[in-house]
Amino acid sequence: MNNHLLSLENRVAVITGGAAGIGLSTAKLLAEMGATIALLDVNESRGQEAIEEIGKSGGKAKFYQCDVTNDTECRNTVDAIIRDFKRIDILFNNAGVIVRKNTLDLREEEWDLVVNVNLKAIFLLSRYVIPIMITQGNGGSIVNTGSGWGLKGGVNAVAYCAAKGGVVNMTRAMAIDHGKHNIRVNCICPGDTDTDLLRGEAVQLNQDMKEFMKEAADRPLKRIGLPLDIAHTVLYLVSDLSSWVTGTTIVVDGGGLA
């Protein structure tokens, strides 16, 4: 195999929600493969820590504080990234939040938050990044983060299921629209992965953490996911190894959905 197929040398990768969990693990991996990372998050202190960590391992990264549900912040951040690094080749739409409530308990502002962070933000950021990829003329790769619960329903997570289902089909629509510019758009659907988001669900549901995590590990591969499990698949999707892959959804869940 041509080893260069996985190299991300000279590419600039924008990663949302990059200060923690899956986003942070992916930022480290893509930096290791040669990409320059523009790391976006609302959490400034954790964002700065992430940048330091990547820098210490020899990677190149810069933090941009950005609430990806805010259109003006998305536009200004993309402008700043172009001023700093001149190009954008990869966009990993990863930021997400979950509220574990059903239709009767969920408040309207909770619906708005969950749908805006998980779904609307992909639209907001992509509409500033795609024109840059088109102008550059050599395509690009966008990875949108869905979930197992974008493909099946889940208990007490009505807004999250709605948003993630939207992400799966929005990905197909984006792939159709932008394929002519060699912009590939794919969706990754993680299963239960050990991050603050997952552990926060146990807290929201008032469940014993140990029991919750044990249940989450009950799947064919008999373990919970690690952020790096997801990052490895994102690397595949943003590298040239997946050059004819677009509009698809990859489930990475230790067989949970099976």
Ligand X SMILES: NC(=O)c1ccc[n+]([C@@H]2O[C@H](COP(=O)([O-])OP(=O)(O)OC[C@H]3O[C@@H](n4cnc5c(N)ncnc54)[C@H](O)[C@@H]3O)[C@@H](O)[C@H]2O)c1
- Given the rule CB under 6 A, which residues bind ligand X? 16-17, 19-23, 40-43, 66-69, 94-97, 117-118, 145, 147, 190, 192-193, 195-198
Which CB sits closer to ligand X, 12 or 163? 163
Q: How far is the CB of 5 from ligand X (least distance, A)?
A: 25
Q: How far is the CB of 59 from ligand X (least distance, A)?
A: 18
Which CB sits closer to ligand X, 10 or 220? 220
CB 100 within 8 A of CB 145: no
**How many secondary structure helices (H) and strands (E) does the chain include?**
9, 7
Name which of 55, 135, 32, 120 is nearest 87 in CA terms.
135
Neighbours of 62 (CB within 10 A): 16
Q: CA-to-CA distance for 16 and 10, rounded, in angstroms? A: 20
Which CB sits closer to ligand X, 120 or 172? 120
Q: CA-to-CA distance for 193 and 199, rounded, in angstroms? A: 9
| Catalytic residue (one of 64, 128, 160, 236) | 160
Active site residue 236: no
Q: What is the DSSP letter of 65?
A: E
Which CB sits closer to ligand X, 4 or 27? 27
Q: How far is the CB of 140 from ligand X (least distance, A)?
A: 20
Q: How far is the CB of 136 from ligand X (least distance, A)?
A: 25
244: which 2 tokens? 């004819």
Residues with a known catalytic role: 160
